[in-house]
Structure 1
Amino acid sequence: MRVANKNTLRVSDIMTCAMARLLKDEEKVFHGVSSHLPMVAMMLARSMHAPNLVHLNISGGVNPQTVKDAYYSSAGADLWNGAEAVFSLEEVFDLSMRGKLDVAFLSGVQFDINGNVNASVIGDYNKPKVRLPGGAGSAVLIPTAKKAIIWRTKHDKRTFVEKVDFVTTRGNLWKIVTPLCIFKFEEGKLLLESIHPTSSLNEVIENTGFEVNYNEIKYTPEPSEEELRMLKRIDPYDFRSKEFL
């Protein structure tokens, strides 16, 4: 079993670097609101191995420059700073529907082994315990983007369930990145792809509401020194950790 130094490795850094490594040069990649982790991951990818990646966002500023303002937002005016062009949200949807959006970073509240995503209600739809925001962009982008990457900063049995309470959207998932691991969607099922060095197979199993299947035990690579130095430069206020507060 691999033993990591949990005092030096941070889950926010592991997740950000893992998501950045999933992106390729020249891909067109979108993130929406409340998306600090994927936003920083996209900037990291552009700074490291994918200089021609096209950064699209809900604000509309294409390829914003690195932002060091304390008001840094994943959906605010900061993403217009130094932008190369303007590309509205409506155009992002159109791009995806035409099969031209390479990657969409999205999230949800419940997920099951069949790749169903719930962002609508907890409990019975007509008498829900909690009514959620709904599909919004996810209902359009998950089925139509070439690759849908889900990220979620909680990994527990209430999030990864045997069967979602409501299917907001389904299928076409590529990866799910959590604080414990990365799942991949293969042949209609979620499979464990890698375990983060701060976690273990037992921890993943204990916090997942469906059977955890895998082909082999692999660990997510730790962030490199170069990646960590770059993260300090492009995200000096550590907004990538904001969702864990």
Structure 2
Amino acid sequence: MAVFLARQIRDGEIVFHGVASALPMTAVGVARRLHAPGLTYLNIPGGVDARPAHLPGSTVGAQLLEGARAVFNLAEIFDLSARGALDLAFLGGAQIDSRGDINLSYIGDPRRPKVRLPGGAGSACILPTARRTVLWRTAHDPRSFPERCAWVTASGRVDRVVTPLCLFRKEGGRLVIESRHAGVSAEAVREATGFDPGPCEEAPETPEPTPAETAALQAADPGGVRFLEF
């Protein structure tokens, strides 16, 4: 999944990810080593183009200030996005629905919720204002991908969604399948998705990581920090 996320980054873009984002953090390192050496990387601790010796186990770790060209605090990142200057943001959601809206708030009756989620942090600011947003979720099942979220924490400019089974793109206001990962059947995607994902049978196979991408992935994350999300 880190490679699939890395492919969404374009050279020269200003890229940001939030908390609990080991996969996007790794993806930045992969893209920087391959097709996007000119990206500008912003993170939660405030590092601008940080180059830590090793990826930390937390995306709020002080290591993400190592080698930074400058420090850019979170309020400034929100302002940057509001001004339309943040090219790409990676955001997650406990639920991602058919419209690309995300839920990070709660499940059930708001007065007595069944599940309290961690909250949206800055997602309600970033999702509608970043030029592009790529969502990801390491679980792909009907509860995680419902027709409509139990509560909409944030809504906005979703470009792609990366899951363990497939890639979605947003088209006509809804998520539709773009490709299925190797070995994943159309039936598996349909059964795991709580909304109509579109023409699964016609969706091509997601290209598997190339040797160069695999090598860049290992170089970016030799300690396997990305696996903390699974």
Q: For the aligned residues, what is the CA RMSD?
A: 1.4
Q: Does 1:35 align with 2:21?
A: yes
Write the distance in 1 (CA, Å) between the matches of 2:25 and 2:147.
Answer: 30
2:151 pairs with one of 166, 171, 192: 166
**Kept in 2: contact 1:55–1:63 (CA 8 A):** yes
Q: After superposition, what is the alpha-carbon deviation per residue over 1:198-222, rounded to whole angstroms, capped at 9, x for unaligned?
A: 4221111111111121384111110
CA distance in 2, matches of 1:200, 1:140: 36
Give the 3 Å change call, closer, same or farther, for CA 66–47 of structure 1 in structure 2.
farther
2:11 aligns with: 25
Structure 1 residue 191: deviation in Å? 0.4
The aligned amino acid for 1:87 is F
For structure 1, the residue ranges without an aligned partner over 5 or more in a row are 1-14
Q: Which residue in 2 is equivalent to 1:78?
A: 63
Aligned counterpart for 1:63 among listed residues 49, 55, 74: 49
Residue 28 of structure 1: how far off its partner (Å):
0.3
Kindly indicate whether the alpha-carbon contact (under 8 Å) linking 1:176 and 1:183 is maintained by their aligned counterparts in 2.
Answer: yes
| Conserved? CA contact 2:52–2:65, under 8 Å | no
Name the residue aligned to 2:35: 49
Cα deviation for residue 75 of structure 1 reads: 1.4
Is residue 94 of structure 2 the alignment partner of residue 93 of structure 1? no
**2:141 and 2:179 mapped to 1: Cα distance?**
17
The percentage of aligned residue pairs carrying the same residue is 50
Q: What is the number of residues matched between the two proteins?
A: 229
Quick one: structure 1 residues 127 and 73, their matched pair in 2 at CA, closer, same or farther if it must change by over 3 Å?
A: closer
- Length-normalised TM-score, structure 2: 0.95
> Residues 81, 198 of structure 1: CA spacing in aligned structure 2 closer, same or farther, 3 A cutoff?
farther
The CA deviation at 1:66 is 4.5
2:109 maps to: 124
- Identify which of 120, 124, 136 aligns with 1:151: 136
Q: Which runs of 5+ in 2 are unaligned?
A: none
Task: Report the alpha carbon displacement of residue 67 of structure 1 after superposing the two structures with TM.
Answer: 2.8
Alpha-carbon deviations, 1:216-236, whole Å to 9, x = none? 411111011111112212211
1:226 maps to 2:222: no
